[in-house]
Amino acid sequence: MSAADWEPVIGLEVHVQLATRSKAFSPSATRFGDPPNSLTDPVVLGLPGTLPVFNRHALELALQLGVATGSKIRARSRFARKHYFYPDQPKGYQISQYDEPLCEDGHLDVIVGGAVKRVKLQRIHLEEDAGKSMHVGAVSHVDLNRAGVPLVEVVSAPELGSADEAAEFMRSLHRLVRWLAISEADMENGQLRCDANVSIRRPGEDRLGTRTELKNINSFRFVHDAVEHEIARQIRLVEDGGHVVQETRLWDADVGASAAMRSKEQAEDYRYFPDPDLPPLVVDGALMGGILRGLPELPTVRFERYLREGLSADDARTLVGERALADYFDAAVKVHPGDRSGRTIVNWLLTELLGALNADGKSIAEAPLAAAHLSELVRLVEDGTISGKIGKEVFAEAYKTGGAPRAIVEANGMQQISDEGQLGAVVDRVIAANPKQVEAYRGGKDGLFGFFVGQVMKETQGRANPVITSDLLHKRLGR
Amino acid sequence: MIWEGAAEIARRIAAGEARAIEVTEAFLGRIAELDGKLGAYLAVAGDAARAQAEAIDRMRAADAPLPPLAGVPIALKDVLVTRGLATTAASKILAGWIPPYDATVVEKLRAAGAIVLGKVNCDEFAMGSSTENSAYKQTRNPWDLARVPGGSSGGSSAAVAAGLCAASLGTDTGGSIRQPAALCGVVGVKPTYGRVSRYGVVAFASSLDQVGPLARNVRDAALVLEAIAGLDPRDATSLDAPVPRYVDALAGEVAGLRVGLPGEYYDRESLDPDVRAALERTQAALRERGAELIDIALPHTHLALPAYYLVAPAEASSNLARYDGVRYGARADAGSLIEMYERSRGAGFGPEVKRRIMLGTYALRSGYYDQYYKKAQQVRALIKRDFDKAFHHVDVILTPTTPTAAFPFGAKSSPIDMYLADIFTLSCNLAGLPGASVPCGLTRDGLPIGAQLIGKPLDEPVLLRAAAAIEAAVGLGDQRPRGLAS
Amino acid sequence: MTKEEVEAIAHLARLHLEPDELERMAGELGTILEHFGALAAADTEGVAPMTHAVPMDLRLRPDVVQPSLPADEATRAAPAKDGELFVVPAVIS
């Protein structure tokens, strides 16, 4: 028996911090990296008498995600209290949503290889983040700066079939929430966090196997590694005659293994009930209308459009990896109707411009070269005004100064010489000046052709149209 | 002046007939002299009160316009959070906690010019009907020091009745303003749910809690209610409705007012004959003034007690989860985290609070939710429907506030006996309706009796007008508690 | 209610009860629940639970930051702290 005899079934529960300025239920700020306990208020601290009031922007962001994932949006959803005692949970309960979540039955489009795969989402619900506990010997320290930051929990259906698919799900969700500016989604800062439910079964079986829950997965690579490790562990366990126990396991990235949490800590009964401090959350037509109107073309939709327009899957995936990059590309294509496919533009964009930006540590948003200028440059090369080689010089100048490529070309007299009369005169001069080489070439030394091209380029400071130059040389040299 | 009430004190100060500092000193003097016997106050904020009073006097001297409660000395139930002034909810678990913020009602009272004399006793976390559940002290009924002042706002009612403040604020989750008001012979108003902000009110049962005034007369209660009512952006359950001039409502007539008499409240063996007789006199007085008495049915009344004692403890078990000894409050020594939680909470909470946390935790457990909490909330809807139907026929409902007058300390030995003390007041909270208790006579033993009025949502003006009519007809007049010598 | 049941609930509520308290609680809770038997008999078929006393929609607040409590004030009342961090017995992971 081997891994091929088993079918892994993976479901993900992903927490995404929403990019609001203030917290979910109170007005303290939501920054990362401030001194401990400096971003709290009476509500966040769970002081006696305090009450939650929900942040409208958190709702708007969650609705954007709901609409972008084709979810059903509940006209009336409800906040519930989820009870558990933990030092970083100030009220002894977390405000979450339980049986009436904001969004249900959506889907996330995941780019796997060159195609888009649709993964079902069971629900997306709103909740508040907890603070942080740090373990220091016999005690733990508690910092509540993160407590109360708004989150959405995105729950996938258990239908991811491999560690790779699980990792791609995370990448696609990451791309989507950044695309929509719903979240910074920085995994290192915990803005995007993932728990994975993993089970295995025989191919063709309907029933799901006993699942384990993996917690503490905080990078795309760990999603893959933790899930893969868990699949292998379960297969080994079952094939050795054991059985999988339903439990929560913590992934330890340093060790590359997971360990079960103590069973006593898992025996929780959250005692959910509707939060009496928070009346039903109503999403009306006006709010939904605004969300729908503001929704941009989604990254997977754009990915597929790029494929249809003739871009390679790799280039298309790179472009939709960042909305600003894809938008830059679209803007460049728009002003350059000659290159409908954008294939030339994408080359200039991904090699020249991204190369230069990377070298400078800049983002696409900080590009000194406007999309229209990149487009203009590509056109100058394509219509033969300048050669590709000169194009790179013009690019360097435009990148440095922010100037328009055409103006740079004209100011520096960099236009390609395509006039046959003008080029013919240069060719004649070169032939007249190098009688020995002419003789040798005509005698059969083909390799000397390049010498003549080089001499013409030298005379014209590289501006000679190479095709016409070559044509003229062939004619005048007689071969 | 001590006995003349809030409105009169405010009038005299505004008219320059008295200085706020004199009034404040007079009340502080009485507290110093008498509270040893009464036991109403948990904390007296003498210096802060004097500073506030002097500020009012400076405003008056500068001819600045004075706010409506300028110079009126007020006591706050110790579940109302006060910045810089210890707030304990009468629980050991909050011993020594000095809040960094003010409850909205406290802010509003200060803005209205009221002088905060201090914090008064109550049942721990407002859970009880006699104030015997305070972790700190016993508060006595000024009409008979051997009897309870009622609860949970027993410090608030006793202090008003004994003249140790001009008016006070209490909270009412199942009768905790109306019942002690009745037992101490003062006026108590529980507003419509959402009428007054709950921000800064130590939560007991969030869907039932409301803050309201206890006062010497209906006019004072109206004045204080007007000062504390209104929309609060910090409380998502506070109502966005304009605040009427409640004092103006008192001038109206009760002629033509349709007063409902629910049989379920009167036809009870446990109803004390003196209480029954006082209510009958009250009904007669209203009829004489042209009100129409109409028999009504509230058929689900018998379910109010069980529904209440599932909903309130369930919410309480959740609201009290925050007292964990981590960020504030008392912490017990312990080796492990779980032990720290269990020991801190075990030592910090008193028996009744523990009982309710246990009951609430039981009711919310997975698998029991539908059977208990959800069922109780459904019954609550039935109780609300009863009222909705009744209010098609009547404008206000009149009942006794309590089955009996004040009872002796220790008289209610079992939890159920104590719970039954609130039997007439619970429904009002379950249905979110406004309710008031107004004195309507004394028993043969000279103990006050309260008449309860229940109104339509946001219909406090009608409630207060009916209360004023009762006060005028069968109120206590100049009769004062004789438990305290002076 | 059995003693074991009471113990389990007390643990859920993180409430230490002394043995005599436990005993008494079992009796009292049993009596109270018995007293509430009438509730089970009530016909609530199709009745929506009343989670709020007054029907209303959730009011939202604008996403506006207000100053935080200074860290020393936020931690002032803590029974144990280290600098401006709350300190608790080790959270076992």
Give the DSSP letter string of A262-273: PHHHH------E
Residues with Cβ within 8 Å of residue B454, at least 6 apart in sequence: B387, B396, B397, B399, B427, B428, B433, B434, B435, B463
Look up residue B144 and give its DSSP letter: B
Q: Which residues of B touch C25 (CB under 8 A)?
A: 354-355, 358
Backbone angles phi, psi at B402, to 5 degrees: -140, 155
* CA distance linking residue C33 with residue A474, whole number of Å: 107
* CA distance linking residue B35 with residue A282, whole number of Å: 50
The residue type of B408 is P
Tens digit of each residue's pLDDT (9 = 90 or more) over A444-455? 888 888 898 898
Profile chain B (486 residues) by mean pLDDT over runs of 10 residues.
Answer: 94 96 98 98 98 97 96 98 98 97 98 98 98 98 98 98 98 98 98 98 98 98 98 98 96 94 94 97 97 98 95 98 96 93 97 97 92 95 98 98 97 90 95 98 97 98 98 95 76
CA distances from A478 to A447, A450, A473 (A): 15, 15, 8
Q: Which of C51, C68, C90 sits opposite A29 (nearest CB)?
A: C68
Cis ω before B157 (30° cut-off from 0):
no
Hey, of C3, C44, C57, which one would you mutate to test binding to chain B, going by the most B CBs within 10 A of its CB?
Answer: C44
Per the annotation, the verdict on B270 as an active-site residue is no
Mark yes or no for CB contact C85/A261 under 8 Å.
no
Q: How far is C82 from chain B (nearest CA, A)?
A: 12
pLDDT band for A338, please (50, 70, 90 cuts).
low
Per the annotation, the verdict on B176 as an active-site residue is yes
Mark yes or no for CB contact A52/B236 under 8 Å.
yes
Residue A207 token pair: 């029933």
pLDDT band for A213, please (50, 70, 90 cuts).
very high
Neighbors of chain B by Cβ distance (3+ pairs < 8 Å): A, C
Residue that the structure tokens 């043995």 belong to: C19
Q: How far is A206 from chain C (nearest CA, A)?
A: 35
Residues 251-280 on A with a CB inside 8 Å of B are 269-273, 276-279
Cβ pair A48, B322 in contact under 8 A: yes
Size of interface B-C (CB pairs under 8 A): 170
Mark yes or no for CB contact B358/C47 under 8 Å.
no
Q: How far is C93 from chain B (nearest CA, A)?
A: 12
By the 10 Å C-beta count (0-12 exposed, 13-18 middle, 19+ buried), A325 is classed as buried
Does the reported pTM lie above 0.90?
yes
* CA distance linking residue B167 with residue B117, whole number of Å: 10
pLDDT of residue A288: 96
Mark yes or no for CB contact A135/C91 under 8 Å.
yes
A201, β-bridge pairs? A7
Cβ pair A299, A326 in contact under 8 A: yes
Three-state DSSP class for residue A12: strand
pLDDT band for A339, please (50, 70, 90 cuts).
low
C55 touches chain B (CB under 8 A): no
Residue A250: how many other CB atoms lie within 10 Å? 16
From the candidates B168, B176, B238, B344, which is the catalytic residue?
Answer: B176
Residues with Cβ within 8 Å of residue B6, at least 6 apart in sequence: B69, B72, B74, B166, B167, B215, B216, B220, B223, B224
pLDDT at A78 over 90: yes
Cβ pair A102, A76 in contact under 8 A: no
Mark yes or no for CB contact C53/B336 under 8 Å.
no
Q: Which of B100, B236, B341 sits opposite A51 (nearest CB)?
A: B236
Residue A350: how many other CB atoms lie within 10 Å? 16
Residue that the structure tokens 């100053």 belong to: C67
Average pLDDT of span A443-468? 87
Q: Which of C61, C68, C87 sits opposite A141 (nearest CB)?
A: C87
C90 touches chain B (CB under 8 A): yes
Hey, of B326, B339, B380, which one would you mutate to test binding to chain A, going by the most A CBs within 10 A of its CB?
Answer: B326
B215, β-bridge pairs? B167, B187
Instruction: Report CA torsion sign: B343, B345, B349, B350.
Output: negative
Instruction: Report CA torsion sign: A206, A211, A215, A217.
Output: negative
By the 10 Å C-beta count (0-12 exposed, 13-18 middle, 19+ buried), A191 is classed as buried
Look up residue A348 and give its DSSP letter: I
Q: Chain centroid to CA A88: how far?
A: 31
Mark yes or no for CB contact A140/C56 under 8 Å.
no
Residues 265-324 on B with a CB inside 8 Å of A are 314-315, 317-318, 320-322, 324
Neighbors of chain C by Cβ distance (3+ pairs < 8 Å): A, B
Among B181, B242, B192, CA closest to B455: B192
C71 touches chain A (CB under 8 A): yes
Cβ pair A49, B201 in contact under 8 A: yes
From the candidates B91, B130, B134, B152, which is the catalytic residue?
Answer: B152
Size of interface A-C (CB pairs under 8 A): 122
Mark yes or no for CB contact A53/C59 under 8 Å.
yes
pLDDT at A388 over 90: no
Tens digit of each residue's pLDDT (9 = 90 or more) over A137-190? 899 999 999 999 999 999 999 999 999 999 999 999 999 999 999 999 999 899
B103 touches chain A (CB under 8 A): yes
By the 10 Å C-beta count (0-12 exposed, 13-18 middle, 19+ buried), B283 is classed as buried
The alpha-carbon radius of gyration of chain B (Å, integer) is 21
* CA distance linking residue B53 with residue B13, whole number of Å: 11
Tens digit of each residue's pLDDT (9 = 90 or more) over C24-83? 999 999 999 888 888 989 999 999 999 888 889 999 999 999 999 999 999 999 999 999
Residues with Cβ within 8 Å of residue B116, at least 6 apart in sequence: B45, B48, B49, B52, B74, B75, B76, B82, B85, B106, B109, B110
Residue A465 token pair: 């149209």
* CA distance linking residue B235 with residue B104, whole number of Å: 9
Work out the angle between the directed axes of helices B304-319 and B375-390 (0-180°, nearest 10): 130
Residue A88 token pair: 């970083």
* CA distance linking residue C48 with residue A278, whole number of Å: 17
The residue type of A353 is L
Q: How far is B423 from chain C (nearest CA, A)?
A: 14
Mark yes or no for CB contact A49/B203 under 8 Å.
yes
Mark yes or no for CB contact B416/C31 under 8 Å.
yes
Per the annotation, the verdict on B119 as an active-site residue is no
Look up residue B374 and give its DSSP letter: I
Residues 38-77 on A with a CB inside 8 Å of C are 38-42, 45, 53-59
Cβ pair A394, A414 in contact under 8 A: yes
